[in-house]
Amino acid sequence: MSSDHAGYIRDVKKIEALGASPDPSDSGGAGGCGPLLGHDHAEAKPLRQQVFEHVRAEGRATRADIARAVGISAGSVTQISADLIQRGLLEEVEETDRAPVRGRPPIALRVVGGAGRVVGVKLSDQVHSAVITDFAGRHCGAATEPGTTGRLSTEARLAELERIIGDARAAAGDPADPVAAVAVGLPGLIDHDRGQVTWSPLFRDTDIELKATLEARLGVPVHLDNDVNMLSLAELWFGAGRGKKDFAVVTIEQGVGMGMVLGNQPFRGARGMGLELGHTKVQLDGALCRCGKRGCLEAYVADYALAREAAIALDHGPHAAKAPQAIIEELFQEARAGNRAARTIFQRAGRYLSLGLSNVVQLFDPELIILSGARMRYDYLYADEVLSEVAALSLNEGRSPARIEIHAWGDLVWARGASALALSAETDRLLGGTG
């Protein structure tokens, strides 16, 4: 590894697709789930919510641990924990890991997983996935099914969504078991606060009131977000971001996406539609992007961009009927076998990616950048040359370079992140008010 970018990739984690495993660490339950560091405005949350979230993040905690962590008196912890136990949200367990030499083990608290279940869903034109998670963050059941390529009517896409939710609930053991909330992640411009899909490559329609429509059909609260924000939540709740206050996630799949966590909270922008890294411009009057504009980063790095150039490099005729993913896989094998044209395509994409990453460094100065998505199996996109270029394009004087990690999780991790959004919203509903 060259010294030019030594600080940029201290910890590369090439994680293979996890198949049936639902998340990066499956850390619900004894290991806890959720951010391990309080966010910058934690004091704005009611004390009972702070206590509950600390217990869930740690997996289990004694009352003395809670008092120290939250910064309240032992008497307050006793009163709050009694209320949460009475409401069926916490329960007492023996802390066997810290058993004294004599006498009974100390008593700890943990979240009652059976207090509720939520559903997290990821929609795409490749694979739909759904995960059922209990209130302690434990995985209860999951389902995946092929997506339908192209833009569909809202009704057709919602029928797919309802079907994948039904399959996940069946996999969890009891399709009739109620769920408290549903969260859906999907690509495009998603207004999280209003619950509106402004534009998505999955829908023919625009400005869809998807939250209201789904709540009327499902009968439970529904929350929407951009799919990469869901992936960021998966890292924040279950993965490498649990102990980080500020980090970025960049994905390369059908498009190029970005999620950002600032102060231990997802950052979405003023109208909930920021961080569209794939549609930042890297070339005036450049290649045509699927958004209809030219020169977007996505138009040089995403699946369809690589497939567009691969058709020439691999001498495919104009009527060759191959899916973009199959074309890219063939391109990758050709590059590894020494095909110079194929290798040049990946190298060019890598250079554009390094330009995008250096802009992320300059704008946000994150402690960690996680590169994720199915295309992370193509090592040309994070080769030494790419990381050296990130370092060369960034101003690093006076600061330590951001660490870059590579995570190639399976399909279910996106839905797992959506379940974190549903859990967070349901926690706010139950404990964040004054009632």
Residue 231: the pLDDT is: 93
Domain-located, residue 239:
no
Domain range enclosing 366: 3-16+244-408
Residue 7: the pLDDT is: 45
Domain boundary among 96, 114, 132: 114
Whether residues 402 and 287 fall in one domain: yes
Local confidence pLDDT in tens for the 435 residues of the chain: 334 444 444 344 443 332 233 344 354 555 799 998 765 555 689 999 999 999 999 999 999 999 999 999 999 999 999 999 999 999 999 876 665 556 667 899 999 999 999 999 999 988 999 999 999 999 999 999 998 988 999 999 999 999 999 999 999 987 778 899 999 999 888 999 999 999 898 999 999 999 999 999 999 999 999 999 999 999 999 998 998 889 999 988 778 889 999 888 889 887 766 788 999 999 999 999 988 899 999 999 988 888 888 877 777 655 556 777 788 888 889 988 998 998 999 999 999 999 999 999 999 888 899 998 777 778 877 788 888 888 888 887 777 778 888 887 778 999 999 999 999 999 999 998 644
- 181-186 and 117-122: which strand pairing? parallel
Whether residues 121 and 259 fall in one domain: no
Domain-located, residue 24:
no
Domain-located, residue 254:
yes
Whether residues 251 and 399 fall in one domain: yes
Domain count, the chain: 3
pTM of the model: 0.85
Whether residues 251 and 395 fall in one domain: yes
Whether residues 174 and 204 fall in one domain: yes
Residue 71: the pLDDT is: 93
Residue 383: the pLDDT is: 82
- Domain with 261 in it: what CATH number? 3.30.420.40
Domain-located, residue 238:
no
Residue 3: the pLDDT is: 40
Residue 384: the pLDDT is: 82
Whether residues 122 and 109 fall in one domain: no
Whether residues 249 and 376 fall in one domain: yes
Whether residues 55 and 202 fall in one domain: no
Phi, psi of 302 (to 5 degrees): -70, 170
Domain boundary among 114, 147, 174: 114
Residue 102: the pLDDT is: 63
Domain-located, residue 285:
yes
Residue 280: the pLDDT is: 92
CB 375 within 8 A of CB 409: no
Please report, for residues 89, 188, 371, the alpha-carbon distance to residue 93 in angstroms, rounded to integers and kept in the order given: 13, 44, 39
